[in-house]
Structure 1
């Protein structure tokens, strides 16, 4: 048995050094599995066509193989054929791969039937190639899982145990942190403590907290708002609203939090973000260049305004904007909201804010992975609704950070933009953000993106 990984140095540096390497290793394994499956399909049709008709390669067989590859790869992702469980459990890995192969074959037959292309494909070649493919994929899965067990001791996920005064927990290959020693405090009234927790949870697949009964609700809140799969070592407690019970050989715990999106959804969303942001940067750089020149000519000050905002997992990041206020009037913490006759706003700045052009540099935040194209808008640390800080209005506020913040979002499309003069202004935004997180789909991202066009210019942009 491997002893738990003990972290004695500064938690920010240690955790970030250990966790990402395993995540990158796992991603390489997924890509290797997919590439091997594709190679197996192409090779099987190459061999089957050659053996049956004596042509190397046989043209129609290779066309069928290419069509099958496209369908199989897509279904394989949807069927979790490339997942953590598929790297460690032989039965699951083989079942998911065979299901994807069976369904993709049926779909290909259906497509060729309706396009009247079945006469072009040999049933003998197709059947033989499928049998060869199945044998090859099974062999690949057995070999890969053996290699993972042999070379990495079967460890393919990041597990963290936080000791916060509860019963002792021993999990193999876990990163173990003592909450008191490393200053880990789930304080909903302190954004800096939540930022620290968010950085600790970064890249974690599973977080297990052992704490006293009285502290369980606050730790459950912290893990939910950070968007991680969180567990509490505890007996079943109704007030924690457990999502499931996690049973380990040495630990029984309640699952009280789970990230909103799985691997497949995160991958689709990231491809969407990079594609849209990259295209927008290529299309709109002349607009940003002209705006930058205008800002510089007006008062000679800096072009960009960089402000620390709250992002995914309650972690801080530096958000970029074109400067729209005087250099001395810029508010780093966002304590004072802009108003209609705000004297801090420059002449060019008023136009930039009115047309939302000042937000365009955030496309670079999207490319860097700090933001998404669609998501809850990031807020400054000192933002207030009425006389209260945002998180003082509603504790559910922190849960909106379970996803990356966005350039636009459901709240903006529904008209919740501009100053938050009253608490109800935040409530409307918060309800829309939480609805978006709970019901995310890639199609909804497209709909919100197109819906944003009609609210780019609005009368609440001061």
Structure 2
């Protein structure tokens, strides 16, 4: 597992790149196909969805600071060749549209030029920005004092456009002035010096130490990469990148961290939440508001700060299901006296969660994902349950795998939280769109069937 990027990692660069490309496609298609009787209500979504799908399979937005210009050009050519075929394929099925090879040629040519220009500016000017200002650097340490480790350190110093700041070596096997400390000293050093990436020479660390460091990296949102020694290393969980000719192994990112997947999931979230708000909440909300007001004084909606993506706080909305009280950080329990009569019905059917579709629309939440916990639960279990903080690498969800598997409601024992986290982490590491659909369907079935721990 690799954490979502934070801070100096410029996490907005890729979304901006995706957005600019999509805007180019939309603007040019509206401009160039206006006279060809194209139904833009179908054509525009078709272009955006197919562009995103092609980008996902081509790895079009998987461009890093060490990616070579040749690799970038290869991705661009693959993307546009397939996209051109997809654009042409639209017209045989749109009988009312007028096919124009000239319009398509102009559209593809200008799109190609503009997208290449955007990529060039983002890729090269970001490197220049790092060199001139000293900003957007990643702090790195290396475990081991092998020849490979020294070669990597020299590469960091020679290629400052890569944007790495080397802090030192750690080793149990060799001690000299170059060594900052032993492997056991790494955790404190990483936290105190805000280290972003740990490079590990595999022939200088035991399996137990490696397992412990991977768990530490997960919990603290750090990236761990590996320097291969002379042994052959093959694993489905490892991918190889080249810093010039230097090979570096990384733990595979999950699909949910890929820019195309994020874009696809966001589009689905917006469309699904708009559908629910328009066709369900538009008439259900006034009815529930009246019932809530008739039974008890107070607002119709209850909002509460919850930890979201990257543990940043957002306000989670619900229909108020309790009497006004001062113990909102205490989760509801069975026969909780704070819960109103209408509140029991809302909580039993999960209707109290429906306003969170506005959270989804605003981008704070996703339809499916790990449920947002209370801040008090984060403090209690953050350092107690392994991989607890992994759940903050993605947006929280209205429903999730843990919830449909029965791990919802009150946390009575540590085992309840451990099982919930296991399902949350499994969802993040094994995400698929089919899995999201299954969870949504099971959630709807559970609403009608009723759940034992929904109180």
Residue of structure 2 aligned with 1:220, choices 209, 214, 239: 214
**Partner-residue secondary structure (3-state), 2:321:** coil
Query: For residue 92 of structure 1, what is the aligned residue in structure 2?
Result: 75
Q: Is the 8 A contact 1:309 1:379 kept in 2?
A: yes
Query: For residue 84 of structure 2, what is the aligned residue in structure 1?
Result: 101
Instruction: State the shift of 1:28 in Å.
Output: 4.3
Deviations 1:81-103 (A, max 9, x none): 75254995223212321133235
Matched, 1:161 2:124: no
Deviations 1:153-192 (A, max 9, x none): 5789x9651356878655426486989xxxxx979xxxxx
Residue of structure 2 aligned with 1:397, choices 364, 388, 398: 388
Query: For residue 232 of structure 1, what is the aligned residue in structure 2?
Result: 225
Alignment of 1:169-248 (within 5 A): 169-170=156-157, 171-172=160-161, 174=163, 208-209=197-198, 220-221=214-215, 223-224=217-218, 230-232=223-225, 234=227, 243-248=238-243
Compute the TM-score of the two structures, normalised by the length of structure 2. Answer: 0.65
How has the CA–CA distance of structure 1 residues 148 and 277 changed in structure 2, closer, same or farther, with 3 Å as cutoff?
Answer: closer
How has the CA–CA distance of structure 1 residues 297 and 177 changed in structure 2, closer, same or farther, with 3 Å as cutoff?
Answer: farther
Alignment of 1:297-376 (within 5 A): 298-301=295-298, 303-328=300-325, 330-332=327-329, 334=330, 337-376=331-370
Instruction: State the shift of 1:407 in Å.
Output: 0.8
How has the CA–CA distance of structure 1 residues 263 and 155 changed in structure 2, closer, same or farther, with 3 Å as cutoff?
Answer: farther
How has the CA–CA distance of structure 1 residues 223 and 311 changed in structure 2, closer, same or farther, with 3 Å as cutoff?
Answer: farther
Deviations 1:280-314 (A, max 9, x none): 33432554455455555555345544444343334
Matched, 1:459 2:452: yes
Higher RCO by CA contacts (8 Å cutoff, separation 6 or greater): 2
**Partner-residue secondary structure (3-state), 1:354:** helix
How has the CA–CA distance of structure 1 residues 398 and 318 changed in structure 2, closer, same or farther, with 3 Å as cutoff?
Answer: same
Q: Distance in 2 between matches of 1:322 and 1:438?
A: 32
Instruction: State the shift of 1:409 in Å.
Output: 1.9
**Partner-residue secondary structure (3-state), 2:10:** helix
Deviates most, 260-269 or 433-442: 433-442
Deviates most, 414-423 or 399-408: 414-423
How has the CA–CA distance of structure 1 residues 79 and 355 changed in structure 2, closer, same or farther, with 3 Å as cutoff?
Answer: closer
Deviates most, 73-82 or 245-254: 245-254
How has the CA–CA distance of structure 1 residues 340 and 447 changed in structure 2, closer, same or farther, with 3 Å as cutoff?
Answer: same
Residue of structure 1 aligned with 2:397, choices 406, 409, 416: 406
Q: Is the 8 A contact 1:30 1:83 kept in 2?
A: no
Q: Is the 8 A contact 2:370 2:400 kept in 1?
A: yes
Q: Is the 8 A contact 2:142 2:199 kept in 1?
A: yes
How has the CA–CA distance of structure 1 residues 299 and 65 changed in structure 2, closer, same or farther, with 3 Å as cutoff?
Answer: closer
Instruction: State the shift of 1:23 in Å.
Output: 4.8
**Over the residues paired in the alignment, what is the CA RMSD in angstroms?**
5.1
Instruction: State the shift of 1:35 in Å.
Output: 4.1
**Partner-residue secondary structure (3-state), 1:172:** helix
How has the CA–CA distance of structure 1 residues 406 and 136 changed in structure 2, closer, same or farther, with 3 Å as cutoff?
Answer: closer
**Partner-residue secondary structure (3-state), 1:79:** helix
How has the CA–CA distance of structure 1 residues 36 and 394 changed in structure 2, closer, same or farther, with 3 Å as cutoff?
Answer: same
**Partner-residue secondary structure (3-state), 1:395:** coil
How has the CA–CA distance of structure 1 residues 290 and 160 changed in structure 2, closer, same or farther, with 3 Å as cutoff?
Answer: farther
**Partner-residue secondary structure (3-state), 2:270:** helix
Query: For residue 272 of structure 2, what is the aligned residue in structure 1?
Result: 276
Query: For residue 438 of structure 1, what is the aligned residue in structure 2?
Result: 429
Stretches of structure 2 that go unaligned for 5 or more consecutive residues are 1-5, 144-148, 169-185
Deviates most, 63-72 or 431-440: 63-72
Query: For residue 3 of structure 1, what is the aligned residue in structure 2?
Result: none
Query: For residue 83 of structure 1, what is the aligned residue in structure 2?
Result: 61
Query: For residue 204 of structure 1, what is the aligned residue in structure 2?
Result: none
Compute the TM-score of the two structures, normalised by the length of structure 1. Answer: 0.65
Instruction: State the shift of 1:104 in Å.
Output: 5.2
Query: For residue 261 of structure 2, what is the aligned residue in structure 1?
Result: 265
Alignment of 1:72-151 (within 5 A): 73-80=48-55, 83=61, 85=63, 89-102=72-85, 105=88, 107=89, 126=101, 139-140=113-114, 143-145=117-119, 147-148=121-122
Query: For residue 190 of structure 1, what is the aligned residue in structure 2?
Result: none
